[in-house]
């Protein structure tokens, strides 16, 4: 495989970040969609940008790609100011939207050719780059197939191929795995890791928590405010997520609903949620596990294993969201500071 | 690189592929106008001829038969039946089997022979005003002519001899009147629909959003998308003109080159209209409805069917804002009257102004509602 000459290590200390956003604000009339969002994405990182629908994810992407003017704040992408250099920013980034944005009535080759020419690749460069992209994404067998005849996973690979023809150092992927089968999802992530190891930075939005866990850096935006920013591990250790004097446990039981109802009545259990055939609970650390088991059993439910558990990213975001709601009363107003967790 | 047309080549390449792939749409957008043309060219004749007529000839002698022959020879009346009573004649008219009833009284020949005034009753169904008007005109004219012939002595000439001469369309052929106007309507249809659809399709697929994140410049994008359709519109024009000239034998008195030249600002208007529609519509069916909305005024207020001069004042003013008005003036001018650039430059300029105005509005709407949304 031909390897593009790219730095092989990402996130080098001392180099400029791939993205730097400082106090981004965007208003639409009287509505403020993005309220002072700041973060940095290092080169070669896979940055997972999460948040509920309508919380401002797409607006932030649009601002960083120069589509929406900033109402306030500053942002640089690949060292270029998005306010003044939007066109050059767009030359250096790739963007893949969630519906893949392919032309269904054009073949794989024609789609690639079109995007290559849009980015102004000359005939020779286009040819070699197409060869590389086709090989990397395994599109070889489908070159003359219409994009509309490809399955979801292959559409996604083609879209990714189109977005990276011009060798961008930074790729924005907006929900790249929505509606894709698990195998294709796994393959896409393998590809992302490989490209990331060559120094390409990814800005990925997703709703899948398992994908968030794979990111080297995640941020969570909640109604226009960034409420979490850091590596998955640092976020798990945040005091808001794991208050001092508490532990998180997984309780296995075949009768989850009955056990849950009981668990919520027990003093020392701070919160409890169902996860499949088990309950995840945050409990005070002075509560004995054997004592907990016995008290749960009184509900009549058979209680299996109880073991300590590290919080998942989902736990993290749920806790932070509750905390944020409680702090603000309502999510539209208020100016509390985002929870910052610098990389370890 | 500060090229405001950046991305033009790539978009043009892609758009021609779309057109080639979607051959069906292209074919129908070219063929349906020709079918419309066939229907209108052959099917519609605004000249009123061969009106169904019932005759009650109570006289029956030579003078009365001569009068009937003259009426028949006018090509206006077609005698469907001869009857023998007023009742039968009335029945024919009420039943809609005849539009005109002509009754020649029993004493017609006698009165003429005795140099007295002979009356002929002409009953006309007034429910269609143009038919009625034609029947009145022709019967009165023939009556007057008949009287004059009898009043004047042999070889005397008329004191005043009106000699009307129809310029440009001497036979009053309907295709000559309709088809140049139809050209304007068809051209508008095809180009507006095609451009609106081509952009709205990209909205539906989300590819427009994708394009905005590439370094393509708005002008490069728009021109790349429009130029193929400008080409199609132009081809369509040539097709229609060829058809008109050789299938319907409408002579083109002016310069075809001038017509082609002046059609450019008109196609420009249609394309701008297409972009404007696509800035509003988010689905192809919405685009379709909006496009129809623009077609109706083009048909009714442009002078295509009804003369603009006889319209109520309000509509007459509206007609100045309908691009087809100007282009119909151009097509009829060049094709029928052999008009030159010095007659028509103002219409061309007006079209260009409308096109530019629409394009600016469309571009603004695009900027505010589509990109910023």
Q: Is A102 exposed, middle or buried (0-12, 13-18, 19+ CB in 10 A)?
A: buried
CA nearest neighbour of A175 among A200, A150, A154, A204 = A204
Q: How many other C-beta atoms lie within 10 A of the C-beta of residue A268?
A: 15
Q: How far is CA B146 from CA B33, B59, B63, B123, B161, in A?
A: 48, 17, 11, 19, 16
- CA of A75 to nearest chain B CA: how many angstroms apart? 16
- Bridge partners of residue B82, in order along the sequence: B55
Residue B288 has pLDDT above 50, yes or no: yes
Of B13, B205, B372, the CB nearest to A68: B372
Question: Are A217 and A47 spatial neighbours (Cβ–Cβ below 8 Å)?
Answer: yes
Q: Which two tokens stand for residue A84?
A: 């003044």
Domain boundaries, chain B: 8-44+172-371, 51-151
pLDDT band at B354 (very low <50, low <70, confident <90, very high): very high
More confident residue, B174 or A5: B174
Quick check: helix, strand or coil at residue B174? Answer: helix
Q: Which two tokens stand for residue A324?
A: 């944020």
- CA of A87 to nearest chain B CA: how many angstroms apart? 6
Q: How many other C-beta atoms lie within 10 A of the C-beta of residue A1?
A: 5
Residue of A nearest to B212 (CA): A67
Contacting residues of B for A114, CB less than 8 Å apart: 10, 13-14
CATH of B51-151, one of 3.90.580.10, 3.40.190.80, 3.40.50.1260, 3.40.1710.10: 3.40.1710.10
Residue A339 has pLDDT above 70, yes or no: no
pLDDT at position A266, please? 83
CA B149 to chain centre: 41
β pairing state of A72-77 and A269-275? unpaired
Q: Where in chain A is the domain with CATH 3.30.70.100?
A: 246-310
Residue A8 has pLDDT above 60, yes or no: no
Q: Is A145 exposed, middle or buried (0-12, 13-18, 19+ CB in 10 A)?
A: middle
Residue B141: CB partners within 8 Å, gap ≥ 6?
Answer: none
Residue-wise pLDDT tens digits, A118-165: 988 888 999 999 999 998 888 889 899 999 898 888 888 899 999 999
Residue bearing tokens 């195998």: A183
More confident residue, A322 or A334: A322
DSSP for A267-313, written as a single string: TTEEEEEEETTEEEEEEETTS-HHHHHHHHHTTT-----EEE-PPPH
Q: Is A38 exposed, middle or buried (0-12, 13-18, 19+ CB in 10 A)?
A: middle
Residue A191 has pLDDT above 70, yes or no: yes
Please state, in angstroms and rounded to a whole number, the distance separating the CA atoms of residues B54 and A234: 102
Question: Are B321 and B351 spatial neighbours (Cβ–Cβ below 8 Å)?
Answer: no
Q: Which fold has domain A246-310?
A: Alpha-Beta Plaits (3.30.70)
DSSP tag of A85: -
Provide, rounded to the nearest whole percent, the portion of chain A with pLDDT above 90: 18
Q: Does the beta-carbon distance from A93 to B371 stay under 8 Å?
A: no
CA nearest neighbour of B207 among A104, A112, A173 = A104
pLDDT at position A2, please? 39
Q: Does the beta-carbon distance from A106 to B206 stay under 8 Å?
A: no
More confident residue, B263 or A209: B263
Over residues A247-261, mean pLDDT: 84
Q: How many CB pairs under 8 A join A and B?
A: 63
Question: Are B59 and B109 spatial neighbours (Cβ–Cβ below 8 Å)?
Answer: yes
CA nearest neighbour of A227 among A154, A102, A317, A135 = A317
- Chain B residues whose C-beta is within 8 A of a chain A C-beta are 1, 6-7, 9-11, 13-14, 17-18, 21-22, 205-207, 209-216, 371-372
Angle at B189 between CA B187 and CA B195, to 5 degrees: 100
CA dihedral sign of residues A233, A239, A240, A241? positive
End-to-end, the C-alpha distance of chain A in Å comes to: 35
Question: Are A43 and A199 spatial neighbours (Cβ–Cβ below 8 Å)?
Answer: yes
pLDDT band at B2 (very low <50, low <70, confident <90, very high): low
Q: Does the beta-carbon distance from B215 to A115 stay under 8 Å?
A: no
Q: Which two tokens stand for residue B372?
A: 């910023």
DSSP tag of A207: S
CA nearest neighbour of B214 among A159, A180, A66 = A66
Q: Which CATH superfamily is domain A19-234 in?
A: P-loop containing nucleotide triphosphate hydrolases (3.40.50.300)
| The residue count for chain A | 344
Question: Are A284 and A242 spatial neighbours (Cβ–Cβ below 8 Å)?
Answer: no
Residue A336 has pLDDT above 70, yes or no: no
Q: Does the beta-carbon distance from B17 to A106 stay under 8 Å?
A: yes
Q: Does the beta-carbon distance from B18 to A105 stay under 8 Å?
A: yes
Query: Across the beta sheet with A19-28, what order do the strands follow?
Result: A31-41, A19-28, A72-77, A80-81
pLDDT at position B369, please? 65
DSSP tag of A120: T
- Bridge partners of residue A284, in order along the sequence: A246
Q: Does the beta-carbon distance from B372 to A114 stay under 8 Å?
A: no
pLDDT at position A335, please? 41
Residue-wise pLDDT tens digits, A62-115: 889 888 888 888 999 998 888 888 888 888 999 988 777 889 999 999 999 999
pLDDT at position B262, please? 93
pLDDT at position B372, please? 57
Alpha helices in A119-238 (DSSP H): 123-137, 152-164, 182-197, 209-214, 232-236
Query: Across the beta sheet with B100-104, what order do the strands follow?
Result: B77-83, B51-57, B100-104, B121-124
CA nearest neighbour of A61 among A82, A45, A30 = A82
Residue bearing tokens 């994908």: A211
Over residues B171-188, mean pLDDT: 84
β pairing state of A225-230 and A269-275? unpaired
pLDDT at position B261, please? 92
Residue B260 has pLDDT above 50, yes or no: yes
pLDDT at position A300, please? 76
Residue B1 has pLDDT above 70, yes or no: no
ipTM of the complex: 0.74
pLDDT at position A238, please? 80
Residue A7 has pLDDT above 60, yes or no: no
Q: How far is CA A176 from CA A95, B118, B127, B208, in A?
A: 10, 95, 68, 18
Interface test with A, best of B206, B207, B211 (most A CBs within 10 A): B207
Of B13, B205, B372, the CB nearest to A117: B13
- The lowest-confidence range among A123-137, A186-200, B172-186 is B172-186
- The lowest-confidence range among A255-264, B96-105, B240-249 is A255-264
CA nearest neighbour of B71 among B163, B160, B135 = B135
Q: Where in chain A is the domain with CATH 3.40.50.300?
A: 19-234
Q: Does the beta-carbon distance from B206 to A120 stay under 8 Å?
A: no
Of B13, B209, B215, the CB nearest to A114: B13
CA dihedral sign of residues B346, B352, B358, B361? negative
Average pLDDT, chain A: 83
DSSP for B97-150, written as a single string: S-SEEEEE-TTHHHHHHTTPPPP-EEEE-TTSHHHHHHHHHHHHHHHHHHHHHH
Average pLDDT, chain B: 86
- Which contacts of B305-309 are long-range, i.e. CB under 8 A and separated by 24 or more positions? B305/B181
Contacting residues of B for A102, CB less than 8 Å apart: 205, 207
Please state, in angstroms and rounded to a whole number, the distance separating the CA atoms of residues B156 and B160: 12
β pairing state of A201-205 and A170-174? parallel
Residue A32 has pLDDT above 90, yes or no: no
More confident residue, A280 or B371: A280
Residue-wise pLDDT tens digits, B196-213: 988 898 888 888 888 888
- CA of A98 to nearest chain B CA: how many angstroms apart? 9
Please state, in angstroms and rounded to a whole number, the distance separating the CA atoms of residues B255 and B352: 20
pLDDT at position B84, please? 92
Q: Which two tokens stand for residue A327?
A: 């702090």
Q: Which helix (H) or strand (E) holds B82?
A: strand B77-83
Residue-wise pLDDT tens digits, B299-323: 888 888 888 888 888 889 989 999 9
Over residues A291-315, mean pLDDT: 81
């Amino acid at each position: 495989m031909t390897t593009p000459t790219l730095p092989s290590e990402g996130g080098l200390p001392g180099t400029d970040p791939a993205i730097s956003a400082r106090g981004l604000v965007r208003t639409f009339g009287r509505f403020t969609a993005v309220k002072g969002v700041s973060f940095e994405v290092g080169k070669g990182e896979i940055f997972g940008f999460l948040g509920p629908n309508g919380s401002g994810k797409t607006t932030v992407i649009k601002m960083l790609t120069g589509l929406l003017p900033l109402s306030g704040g500053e942002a640089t992408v690949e060292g270029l100011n998005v306010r003044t250099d939007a066109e050059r920013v767009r030359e250096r980034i790739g963007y893949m939207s969630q519906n893949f944005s392919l032309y269904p009535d054009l073949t794989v080759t024609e789609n690639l050719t079109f995007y290559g020419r849009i980015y102004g690749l000359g005939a020779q460069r286009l040819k070699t780059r197409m060869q590389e992209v086709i090989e990397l994404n395994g599109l070889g067998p489908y070159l003359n197939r219409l994009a509309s005849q490809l399955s979801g996973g292959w559409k996604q690979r083609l879209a990714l191929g189109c977005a990276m023809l011009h060798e961008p150092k930074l790729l924005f992927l907006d929900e790249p795995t929505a509606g894709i089968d698990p195998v294709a999802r796994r393959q896409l992530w393998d590809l992302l890791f490989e490209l990331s190891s060559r120094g390409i930075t990814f800005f990925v939005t997703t709703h899948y928590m398992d994908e968030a866990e794979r990111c080297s850096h995640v941020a969570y935006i909640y109604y226009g405010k960034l409420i979490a920013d850091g590596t998955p591990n640092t976020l798990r250790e945040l005091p808001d997520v794991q208050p001092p004097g508490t532990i998180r446990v997984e309780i296995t039981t075949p009768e989850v609903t009955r056990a849950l109802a009981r668990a919520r009545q027990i003093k020392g259990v701070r919160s409890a949620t169902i996860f499949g055939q088990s309950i995840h609970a945050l409990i005070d650390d002075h509560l004995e596990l054997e004592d907990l088991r016995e008290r749960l059993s009184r509900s009549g439910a058979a209680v299996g294993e109880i073991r300590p558990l590290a919080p998942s990213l989902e736990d993290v975001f749920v806790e932070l969201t509750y905390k944020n709601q409680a702090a603000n009363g309502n999510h539209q107003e208020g100016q509390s500071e985002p929870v910052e967790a610098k990389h370890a | 690189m500060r090229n405001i047309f950046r991305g033009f080549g790539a978009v043009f390449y892609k758009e021609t592929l779309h057109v080639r792939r979607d051959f069906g749409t292209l074919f129908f957008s070219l063929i349906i106008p020709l079918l419309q043309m066939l229907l209108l060219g052959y099917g519609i004749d605004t000249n009123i001829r061969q009106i169904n007529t019932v005759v009650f000839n109570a006289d029956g002698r030579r003078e009365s038969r001569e009068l009937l022959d003259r009426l028949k020879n006018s090509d206006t009346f077609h005698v469907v039946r001869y009857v023998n009573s007023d009742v039968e004649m009335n029945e024919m008219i009420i039943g809609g089997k005849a539009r005109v009833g002509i009754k020649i009284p029993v004493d017609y020949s006698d009165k003429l022979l005795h140099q007295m005034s002979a009356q002929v009753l002409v009953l006309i169904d007034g429910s269609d005003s143009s038919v009625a008007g034609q029947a009145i005109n022709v019967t009165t004219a023939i009556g007057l002519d008949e009287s004059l012939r009898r009043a004047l002595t042999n070889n005397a000439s008329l004191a005043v001899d009106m000699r009307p001469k129809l310029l440009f369309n001497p036979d009053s052929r309907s295709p000559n009147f309709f088809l140049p106007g139809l050209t304007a309507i068809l051209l508008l249809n095809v180009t507006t629909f095609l451009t609106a659809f081509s952009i709205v399709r990209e909205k539906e697929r989300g590819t427009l959003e994708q394009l905005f994140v590439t370094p393509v410049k708005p002008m490069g994008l728009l021109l790349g998308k429009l130029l193929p359709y400008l080409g199609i519109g132009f081809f369509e024009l040539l097709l229609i003109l060829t058809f008109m000239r050789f299938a319907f034998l409408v002579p083109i008195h002016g310069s075809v080159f001038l017509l082609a030249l002046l059609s450019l600002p008109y196609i420009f208007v249609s394309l701008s209209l297409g972009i404007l529609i696509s800035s509003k519509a988010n689905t192809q069916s919405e685009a379709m409805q909006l496009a129809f909305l623009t077609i109706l005024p083009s048909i009714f207020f442009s002078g295509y069917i009804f003369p603009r001069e006889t319209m109520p004042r309000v509509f007459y003013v509206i007609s100045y804002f309908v691009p087809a008005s100007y282009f119909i003036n151009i097509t009829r001018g060049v094709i029928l009257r052999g008009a030159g650039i010095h007659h028509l430059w103002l219409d061309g300029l007006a079209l260009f102004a409308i096109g530019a105005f629409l394009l600016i509005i469309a571009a603004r709407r695009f900027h505010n509602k589509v990109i910023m949304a």
